[in-house]
Chain A
Amino acid sequence: MSDIQHSPKTEAADTAEILTGAEIVVRCLVDQGVDVLFGYPGGAVLPIYDALFHEPRLHHVLVRHEQGAAHAAEGYARSTGRPGVVLVTSGPGATNTITGIVDALMDSIPLVVLTGQVPTHLIGSDAFQEADTVGITRTCTKHNILVKRAEDLPRAIHEAFHIATTGRPGPVLVDIPKDVQFARAPYQGPKEVRFAHVYAPRTKADPARIREAVALIAGAERPLFYTGGGIINAGPRASALLREFAALTGAPVTSTLMGLGAFPAADPAWLGLVGMHGMFEANHAMHDCDVMVCLGARFDDRVTGRLDAFSPDSKKIHVDIDPSSINKNVRVDVPILGDAASVLEDLIAVWKAEKRKGSKEKLAGWWKQIETWRARQCLRYRPSDTIIKPQYAIERLYALTKDRDVYITTEVGQHQMWAAQFYRFEEPNRWMTSGGLGTMGYGLPAAVGVQLAHPNSLVIDIAGEASVQMTMQEMSTAVQHDLPIKIFILNNEWMGMVRQWQQLLHGERYSHSYSASLPDFVKLAEAYGGVGLRAETPDELDGLIEEMIDIPKPVIFDCKVEKSENCFPMIPSGKAHNEMILGDVEDIGSVVDEAGKRLV
């Protein structure tokens, strides 16, 4: 290993412990407070796996596919607020993680992904299992680095944790050639290393902007908080401060899909999910408000719908830690760059210092209007005595689990939306879903990660039968590691979300959206060494859910639901918030016009 000869002799080097690169990797993780990592071995990471063999402080979870490792790490991260760690080999190991890395980038999830690489002298030679991992992941990570010398490893890894977890969180990848893992170099701890980059995102907002925002909110007649995943990213304190500030102002609050739980669903000021499948009252309030306070949300197209009709008469305040989020899709009047918790603290302080009042009388008209929207009861669906309605299944799941210490993950599709609508969250970090990328197959491995972080909690993946088959093999991981996750499948035999769009937009031509040859999920569970349950009628549902909760093993729950149910409310493509359709619409095939059909 000739690398080490070039190492500059630093002072620290004289006193520091000399370790192999592989030992440095493991030591960095321990010093970062990592307790769990998700991985899969291979030739290019064998030295690191060897070092792991001797390190009892790190719990390595062997997944069944590297995509699962990334999603598990995401679930771990989202449910704890700590970064998730992934370790995989070069080439196919690295490329298999990419979906999870992009998912984490889109949803602002802190991950540190360690990949093995072929030895430095073979890089570029199309060596066995060589892939240009840093090249491939450059645009889908927050940052990445190929470490060519063992002495650079401590800095690279410690800095990766710093970058992943500060500012707008995201995935950071460190690519480590095999010879670097063998080479020896001095170890430096998190406090000793000097970072290679000057990365210090601004967290404290401009006080002038804070005062401007307070004046706007205090003067509003129809204020509305539009809150998102950034509140969750900012930690539980931000959620607490949000509750306090909302109460001070008396304004209603909506949440994005990523922000569920930041504001308690039980609070009367909560209008529910906003956006394409959001609540009637939330979307109408978005459309009609005069001051919109966007906190850690990014004006995603699932939320804004048609941009030229988005909340036309409101002044908009946008609090975000990422300057590129501000004015990206929607122009705002008061941009506030900063961390949501810090900004909320400042807003509250100024509100109190200026003796502002959330006037009941002034907002009375607004609340009255909101109550008329609420009275529309947008989640109503046609119940059935014979067939399990998917909405009913989630309602019952919620009723029977809400008093427990419960975490929910989801796959992607109708079931995800029904979960967001019918499961109610009172706290942050309890809801894990793939929002930005919409990755089918996210929920099961994410549940694995959540269960590891919370071994005694009830962890449920609300799944679709199509999505769950994308990462079903992680059932084996759950069994191996005694993780009693519950996979609650709303089995409608269709790729329901696709079928719904085909019904709405493509003249009921159901092109390739039916899953023929579905496996017997009960037998499948048993084959994996878990337990399978099946519910086919509404009257047996409660008993089976109770049974599922009590089983101390991984369970696949095959809940046979109405096959052709559609997910409402819905803002059809190309429509404005106040043109949303509900479940009682007559002919859904005619709702979307030609221009709307071209949108995504």
Chain B
Amino acid sequence: MSIEPPASAYDMAHDVEIETIATFAVLVDNEPGVLHRVVGLFAARGYNIESLTVAETDRAAHTSRITVVTRGTRHVLAQIEAQLKNMVSTRYVQDVSRDPNGVERELALVKVRGVGAERVEALRLADIFRARVIDTTSESFIFEITGAPSKVDKFTDLMRPLGLVEVSRTGVLSIERGAETL
């Protein structure tokens, strides 16, 4: 069944718009079920979760910070932001990825198995990426790397032909440069 092209320009965005990645920093009241609220919101409305981190960040103020990386059209991302803000438990929402002052970091543990020249090459690349070796056997390394998600991606891509066997990532953390707070 072919759907006719939209008759007016104003609805075209739904199909034509490209998807981008966005990172939302969500400051929430630290209370039971709050993580479920966020995850449930994404599940119920069919939004993607690419990564999610959460931890209490201010015990006295009773707040947790949830950083969620998602993907969608501009229109969907605006909806996600509005829906997150609508939650009663939400104190603040910021789209960090669209903030020029936003800093994003991720930590990954990367296990590479190999011997001989490949092993040497892995170690050399790790050095370039400033990944630390945190465990060594005669046929494997575990590297610890921190950086922007794209850097971690790049590193794992390069490790793949050199014997990458396992990756564990924390998901993205974010904060804003300067003295301001959320």
Contact = CB atoms under 8 A, between A and B. Distances in A.
B23 to A, nearest CB: 20
A323 B80 CA distance: 11
B32 interface: yes
A598 interface: yes
Contacts of A312: 7-8, 10
A524 B32 CA distance: 48
A594 B1 contact: yes
A308 B11 contact: yes
B86 A324 contact: yes
A198 B91 contact: yes
B36 A138 contact: yes
B73 to A, nearest CB: 12
B89 interface: yes
Interface stretch (B37-45, B160-168, B170-178): B37-45
Interface string A300-330: 0000000111101000000000111011101
Q: Is the interface of A mostly helix, strand, loop or mixed?
A: loop
A138 B33 contact: yes
A598 B1 contact: yes
A197 B36 contact: no
A327 B6 contact: no
A196 interface: yes
B115 interface: no
Given A197-B88, A312-B10, A598-B1, A146 B32 contact: yes
Nearest to B43: A139
B18 interface: no
A307 B13 CA distance: 12
Contacts of B37: 138
Interface string A148-185: 00000000000000010000000000000000000000
A142 interface: yes
A248 B73 CA distance: 40
B132 interface: no
Nearest to B89: A197
Given A309-B8, A312-B7, A135 B33 contact: yes
A326 B12 CA distance: 18
Nearest to A140: B44
A199 interface: yes
Given A199-B88, A327-B75, A327-B78, A307 B11 contact: yes
Interface hub of A198, A308, A310 (most chain B Cβ within 10 A): A308
Contacts of B86: 322-324
Contacts of B75: 327, 331
A330 B41 CA distance: 21
Given A134-B33, A138-B36, A312-B7, A163 B44 contact: no
B104 interface: no
B40 A138 contact: yes
A516 interface: no
Interface string B1-31: 1010011101111100000000000000101
B150 interface: no
B31 A196 contact: yes
Nearest to B3: A595
Given A163-B88, A328-B79, A139 B7 contact: no
A143 interface: yes
A499 B83 CA distance: 37
Interface hub of A135, A138, A196, A595 (most chain B Cβ within 10 A): A138
A165 to B, nearest CB: 13
B105 interface: no
B27 to A, nearest CB: 10
B3 A197 contact: no
Contacts of A145: 31
A575 to B, nearest CB: 12
B8 A139 contact: no
Contacts of B182: none
A528 B96 CA distance: 62
B88 A309 contact: no
Given A138-B37, A327-B78, A595-B3, A143 B88 contact: yes
Contact of B8 (A134, A163, A308, A322): A308
A576 B42 CA distance: 31
A199 B85 CA distance: 10
A547 B111 CA distance: 84
B125 interface: no
Interface hub of A322, A324, A326 (most chain B Cβ within 10 A): A324
B49 interface: no
B82 interface: yes
Nearest to B88: A143
A308 B10 CA distance: 7
B9 to A, nearest CB: 9
Contact of B85 (A310, A323, A594): A323
Interface string B73-101: 00100110011011111010000000000
Nearest to B28: A197
Given A308-B8, A598-B1, A139 B79 contact: no
Interface in B36-65: 36-37, 40-41, 44
Given A196-B31, A328-B79, A310 B11 contact: yes
A196 B83 CA distance: 20
Nearest to B12: A308
Contacts of B7: 308-309, 312, 576
Interface in B110-155: none
A568 B87 CA distance: 40
Given A138-B37, A323-B82, A324-B79, A331 B10 contact: yes
B29 A197 contact: yes
B36 A595 contact: no
A139 B10 contact: no
B32 A139 contact: no
Contacts of A331: 10-11, 13, 75
Contacts of B83: 324
Given A139-B41, A327-B78, A330-B11, 8 more contacts: A135-B36, A138-B37, A142-B88, A143-B87, A146-B32, A146-B33, A196-B31, A595-B3
10 contacts: A138-B36, A139-B41, A146-B32, A198-B91, A312-B8, A324-B79, A324-B83, A327-B79, A330-B11, A331-B75
**Can you list the 10 inter-chain pairs with the closest CB atoms, starting with the nearest?**
A308-B6, A324-B82, A312-B8, A143-B88, A308-B11, A323-B82, A139-B40, A139-B44, A307-B11, A309-B7
